[in-house]
Every structure is written in C-alpha cells, then in structure tokens.
Structure 1
Amino acid sequence: MSEVPARQGSLRERKRAATIDEIKSVAIDQLAADSGQMTLRGVAREVGLTVQSLYNYFPSREDLITALVADAHNALADAIQAAGREHRALPAPERLVQVALTYRRWAVEHRARFLLIYGTPVPGYRAPEEGPTTGAARRLGATLIEVVFGDWSAAEMAGIRRPGEDARPASVLATAAELLSPGMPPAAFGLGLDLWGRIHGLVMLEILGHLPWLGPDAEANYRDAMTRAAADVQRVREHGA
C-alpha cells in the first residue's frame, strides 16, 4: 500500500491560507475592475466575511495592497528564475530571449497583477518604506541581473564602457547596483537597466492596448525585438561597447 503524503500545516492553518488566497484574489479583481478603487468592506462582502473578521487577516487596506504588490513582484521573479534555470544550457543570447518571453507571457496572463506593480499607482496607497514591497522589488531586479549576467566573467563585466563621460549617471548607477548586486560595475548595471527597458517597454505598450494591430503576431514580434536586444548585449559582452 502506498503512503499518502502528509498535508502541510493543521486544518486551521490550511483554512486560513485558503481564506487569505481568496481575499487576495477578490481584492486584485476589484482593483482591476474599478481603477484602483478597492475597500475592505467590498472585499469582505464578496468573500463572505464581516469587515471585523477580515481585520484578522489584513488590519488595513494598505496591508492588503502591500501583500498584493509583494506577491506580484515575487511571482514574476519566480517565473523569471525558473525560466533561467530551464534554459541555462542554451547559449546566452537564446537564454535571454526565452527569459524575456517568459516576462511577457507572465504579464499577459496576469495583467491585473502586472499593472498593480507597473501601472498607475493605486489611489491613496503609499508603500511602506523598506517594507515587503521594497524587498520584493529588489528581488525581482536581482533575479533579472542574475539571469542576464550570471555567467559573465569579472573581466567581461569590467570591460563594459558607458557611452558618456558624465560622472553623475555613473554615481547613481553605482548606488543602485549596490542595492541589487553589490560590487557590480556601474556600466554593467546601466546595460542591465537599458535591457530591462527594452524587455519591459514593449510589454507595457501591449498590455495597455497600444499595439492592437499586431494581433496574434504580438509574441512573434516581441521575440524578434528580444533577439535583436540579446544580440546587442552579446556584442557588448564580446567587445565592451
């Protein structure tokens, strides 16, 4: 007789986790449907709880939104990390294209969650300083950096040259790099930022409905754009600029 795997946590813990998932699902749907207007009373009514009971899970609207934002960042980071591992045997440019395609697909499949972190700020919400959303956003950035530059040598990283000589951008980039990847050369971080802009920019245009004329060819067009971006990054890797 085969053994049945033990379930994780007590029945109470599993019920609480399921209720939290339902609360989050309802909240993200309400945020997406009503231009960021979401209330605990409205969520509680749809879930079938009293507002007082909902406070046992999320003490405030801000706490609930913070959890949703952190979850979205972490879910996208998980998808990117998994794609990097799945395609790690591919040449770097091809791996980068696959990771970018994963970024787009996650955004398309989870449009409301993607726009929660990158769209118009939720009215009245202010993320806590150095709170869960900050940590999750940094993790997403660090994950992208690891996927792109994880197999670069120190010499390749140091060989990247910035196109300008102004010291101010270099200082800003150095500060940002210390948060996500301590010791990373500012020029390398700048290259990563430029690449993210290319990965992210077309996705935002598509998600916000600005590329309807692409129709079913949207992913193929995106693949072509990311292939060009990956080739540009490879040229920098080989020649430094």
Structure 2
Amino acid sequence: LKEPSVHASQRSRSQTNRSQANVQQTIDSVATRVTIDPEGQVMKRTTAPLLLNYLISELVNIFIVFIVWHYSSATAVSQLSVAYPICYFVSQAIPRAISQAQVAYITKAIAESKVKQADECLAYHFVLQAAYFILSLFFAFFLSISFSGQAQLADTDVNYASVYIPLNCTLGTLLSIFNNSTEALLLIEGKNTFNMVRSVSTSLLQLLFILMAYQFSAAQKEETSLTQMAIGQILGQLVPAIVMIVYYQDFKPS
C-alpha cells in the first residue's frame, strides 16, 4: 500500500526543516555573524587590513633587528644573522601563511554559498596547524643541537642555542598559530578595526618587553642575551592571546 499523501507531505516538510537546521548549524560553526556575500565584498574588505597588518609586522621586525644590532655584542649580531630569520620563518611566517590561505578559501566558499566546504576547511586548518606545531618541536630540537655544534659557541653562549631557538620555535609557533587563527576569523567577520588594534598592540608589546630586557641588562652592566629577546617576543604574543581568549565571543556558545 502507498503511504497517504498527507503523511508523505508531513514527512517531507519534517526532512526539509531538519535540513535547514543542519545548514544553519553549519553556518554558525564556521563563523558566527558572517553574512553570505555573493558579490565578494568580504574578500575586498579584508585586503587592505591584511596588507596593513603585514606592513606593521615587518616594520616591527626590522626595528627589532636594529635594536639587537645597536645594543648587542658582535657575537650576538653574528648569531642573530643566522638564527633569527630561521626562527622567524618557522614560528611566524608559516603559521601566518596557513591562516591566510584559510581566510582566502573560506571567504570564497561563503561568497559562493559553499557552506560545507567552508566548514571542512576550518576543521582541516586546525588539524594542519597542530601537525605543523608537532613538526616545529622536532625542528627546534634538531636546530638547537646542530647550531650550537657547528657555530662552535663558547660556554657562555650555549644558552643561546639551548634556550632561544627552542623557545621561539615552540612557544612562539604555538602563540603564532592561535593569534593568526583569531586574526583570520576576525578578518572573515569584518572586525577590521578590532583586528588592527590587536595587531598593533601585539607589535608594540613585543617591542616594549624587548626594550625592558635591554634596559635591565644595561642597569646590571651585563651583555644583553638574545634569549632575553626571545622572552620579549613570547611575552609580546602571550598578552594579546590571553586577551583574545577572554574577549573573543566565538570561542563560547552564543
């Protein structure tokens, strides 16, 4: 016997309602308060803040190199010329590249109403970042051992290889993943002003903590260690990360 048309119609409406609820839940899981934008305005609004964030970040790194060159010994400068770009690339550049690729794909998927693909991309993003963090741990361990051996560092400089490199390549990578991921979500949601404040505060805090380390060394009449610069960089990223955990509403149910 065939099912009565009334029951079939009710079941069809029930399935439709469940499908709509699933779609809405998926949209909310990608990023709350994101509106579907077929005209691609989301991507256009993220371009200028993204470029400005890069500019601010690079200017700060140039200034940090200048500070180390000005206040540190010749040995520290030679060490910096080798290890600082490597640590920066490992802990900052790659996590940022992964997050910005996420921004580009998710905004494009949302504009094309491909909600499922956007949701999957967000999940894969965090899996990829976690895998990269594990890889950075092995890289930091290998680099700290090989660098101290090949550079033939004096006993007083061993802490440079054993502390500075692992600190930047592990804690720096972990904080960079978190800060860049929240930056990606803020850009997607169009919170450009708040994102700019967060980016500038991160850069200024890094400079502040590094300058405090140098002033402390000068007061003690000791040579500034690049390990102190690493600690300053970590603290500069840690404070905004804590603020984001407390403030950012998308990490808790709305």
TM-score normalised per structure 1: 0.31
Query: Which is helix-richer, 1 or 2?
Result: 2
- Higher RCO, 1 vs 2 (CA within 8 Å, ≥6 residues apart): 2
